[in-house]
Structure 1
Amino acid sequence: MTAASLDIVFPCLNEVAALPWVLERIPDGARAIVVDNGSRDGSAEAARGYGALVIDCRQRGYGAACHAGAQAATAELLAFCDCDATVDPRGIPAMAELIRGGRADLVVGRRRPTTLRSWPLHARLANRELARRVRRRTGVALGDIGPVRVARREPYLALGLADRGSGYPVETVVRAADAGWQIAQADVAYLPREGRSKVTGTLRGTWGAVRDMSAVLSR
């Protein structure tokens, strides 16, 4: 990887406990873009201390944070990754190489839990159902609508993603499939998160994500 060839966007809401672990693992040739989505725990200051580019996104929502990070990126390749220490960023360059080698236009991470508590059962079942519905809608056989995605930046921005909530990952796959992109899947180890989960760790959070993703599919 050459300098500034990969920008990794980390949507962030109160992740100060996880940021050191994540940002210490940024691969050579990659830049971390931490998008602060209203944190009150000092996440933005901590991220700057580790050398990340920090973007302030005042519109709340996972998709809003991803969009702000994508707009701030300048590298050829663009990745999105959760910043709760569930995924090691050092695995992202291998996903990027699938794109560089012409084997994919979009690479989606498929979570492989390292422990039973890494991925609660209710979240796993909800994700399985969403993957089935995405497969029925697009014809793309994905086992997971995962927390890591990699694509070339300019074509990605041209997809015109509009969702600003939890439906953003599903819209990414749907629009990429509709555009005729080759979509690949890569396994990523999924670790127990640092701190309290705002989505998959609670039934309410999981239901909110399912609702947003279902709305994307219904459109």
Structure 2
Amino acid sequence: MTTDHGYRPSVPDVVFPCLDEAGALPQVLPRLPAGYRAIVADNGSTDGSAQIALDLGATVVTVPQRGFGAAAHAGLEAATADVVCFCDADASMDPAQLPRVAGPVLAGEADLVLGRRRPTRRSAWPVHARVANTALGLMLRRRTGRSLHDLGPMRAGRREALLALGITDRRFGYPLEMVTRAADAGWRIVEVDVDYAPRAEGTKSKVTGTVLGTLRTIRDMREVLAR
């Protein structure tokens, strides 16, 4: 349902931060649940990702400022639905599972829902990334006082409330700052299990694919926790 002003109150928009995901998008976008709208926030792809997303029916937002958070926030700003989901564009997460993440927000039972990743294969989550996520989960629990375990990229919240959080990080600290600010604001934050699979063949993670990428992510998140 769409209002005269383009506002879509019942069916979520889904933000896909994207950097060179041409090999994954054809696997990801067709798996969106009926009615969910894909917003691909292209962060400088050079492999034709933007055109592939357009051909698959997605709305494409060009984001000149580099950084995961810059892409995610630009997608949030471009959304018109009341509820907005976020999902990686690398085929490691199944968009068909988005209703289990968006459901508690749509039902008014939660303000922010985080998809707790459950690997479908050991290769889905490299050891260095698993260790880093465990450490970050511990820091997150200490910081927020909430029983949270994962900063999984599949999540959902209400657009206007998310924008009102005033998130400033535009790098890999963006997902963490969203949670810390939501916790500080007294939001109801819950986790639901979602599958976590190996990335699409021929693609490489900017975060967990290398030890350097993981260390860079930890650095950004430590900066958020230090604020």
Question: What TM-score comes out, normalization by structure 1 length?
Answer: 0.97
Given that 2:12 and 2:37 are in contact with CA atoms closer than 8 Å, whether structure 1 keeps it comes out as yes
Check if 1:107 corresponds to 2:113.
yes
Number of residues paired by the alignment?
Answer: 218
Q: How does 1:149-160 map to 2 (within 5 A)?
A: 149-160=155-166
- The Cα shift of 1:95 comes to 1.5
- CA distance in 2 between counterparts of 1:93 and 1:138 reads 26
In 2: Cα distance, 1:76 partner to 1:103 partner: 15
Q: Does 1:93 align with 2:99?
A: yes
CA contact (8 A) 2:101 2:154 kept: no
Aligned to 1:193: 199
In structure 2, how many angstroms separate the alpha carbons of the residues matched to 1:93 and 1:188? 11
Identity %: 56
Indicate if the aligned counterparts of 2:21 and 2:89 stay in contact, CA closer than 8 A.
yes
Q: Which runs of structure 2 are paired with 1:36-47 in the superposition (5 Å)?
A: 36-47=42-53
Alignment-derived partner of residue 5 in structure 2: none
SS of match in other structure, 2:208: coil
Work out which of the residue numbers 10, 15, 32 in structure 2 matches 1:9: 15
Matched to 1:210, the amino acid is I
Q: Which amino acid aligns with 2:50?
A: A
What is the CA–CA distance in structure 2 between the aligned matches of 1:159 and 1:81, rounded to whole Å? 19
Deviating 4+ runs (over 3 angstroms)? none
Pairwise CA RMSD of aligned residues? 0.9
Paired residue type of 2:125: W
Q: TM-score, normalised by structure 2?
A: 0.94
Residues in 2 aligned to 1:101 and 1:70: alpha-carbon distance in whole angstroms? 20
Structure 1 partner of 2:75: 69
Structure 1 gaps, min length 5? none
Partner of 1:147: 153
Residues 118-157 of structure 1: pairs in structure 2 closer than 5 A? 118-157=124-163
Partner of 2:226: 218
Opposite residue 166 of structure 1, the aligned amino acid is F
1:191, 1:136 → 2: CA distance?
28
The gaps in structure 2 that reach 5 residues or longer are 3-7
Q: Secondary structure at the match of 2:147?
A: coil
